A and B are shown apart, each in its own frame.
Chain A
């Protein structure tokens, strides 16, 4: 990848360290995308396809805020972006054949995680990398070839516990972390989504998003 991107990554890394050190953000393992100033947070076990879904949404009119980390501002409750290179793996790689070639890294075969190709977030995502968004919906996606597409509500307490487990600094933040996380849950509906393929997933996301008031 280009030197320019390497520098961007280094700068973002340093900013992240500073932001976490200042105890300004609750760090969540979640993929986030934004539309109209509101953010969709996708979280859950790795391998559920959150990064890929977020990257796909980023090519379909949503702004990619981040594929792995979300930063929840403890003061105002807004989510801040962290758009890094996305690591596409194996079958997901083919889904992005159509993007501008300069955004794609070389195909790397035989890595411990299989075949990998890096995808740079698009111009919109990079230009908006300092723009936060208000969280509006939390999804727990689950991928399975044989799953029927399905949507289930998730109880607020369960969402709370899962998000503490999706955070690397919840305990260290003490009461401010507690207030921030309970605030997030109070503000956002949460759903578990089962999907057998990306088209179903994208359709479910659009449906759930339009159902928001």
Chain B
């Protein structure tokens, strides 16, 4: 690391020891580890994401993907069927809504999927779509 002594500094500030680059706006400095892809490509695309997860059955989905009480104004009811990995991949990259779902609720479901955490049903399916291969 670069030593940078500031001899002209009259104050008691300690000399700065390291240079830190802050990175360009488009730089990527955080990589999140996702579970390895399923053993066969076919199974990844067929895996399913229920929206919401069974543990949260009955909740509605707000436009930003968070779970809210049923009937909350502006929120959408649960997806009529689980979303497959293939459909999620398309939807999340700006593609078409899964069949049987209108575009507004599909966007809410997409945001829900983006918020999935380890331990929640569908997380492995979603995460396995993300890691580069």
Residues of A within 8 A of B (CB): 161, 164-168, 170-171
Contacts and interface: CB of A to CB of B under 8 A. Distances in A.
Interface residues of B, number: 10
Contacts of A168: 36
Nearest to A165: B36
Shortest beta-carbon contacts, A-B, top 8: A171-B35, A165-B36, A164-B33, A171-B118, A168-B36, A167-B36, A165-B131, A161-B33
Given A165-B36, A165-B131, 10 more contacts: A164-B33, A165-B37, A167-B36, A170-B35, A170-B36, A171-B33, A171-B34, A171-B118, A171-B124, A171-B127
A49 B118 CA distance: 33
B36 to A, nearest CB: 5
B31 interface: yes
A161 B31 contact: yes
Nearest to A171: B35
A168 B31 CA distance: 19
A203 B70 CA distance: 67
A164 B130 CA distance: 14
19 contacts: A161-B31, A161-B33, A164-B33, A164-B36, A165-B36, A165-B37, A165-B131, A166-B36, A167-B36, A168-B36, A170-B33, A170-B35, A170-B36, A171-B33, A171-B34, A171-B35, A171-B118, A171-B124, A171-B127
Nearest to A167: B36
A179 to B, nearest CB: 14
Contacts of A171: 33-35, 118, 124, 127
Nearest to A174: B118
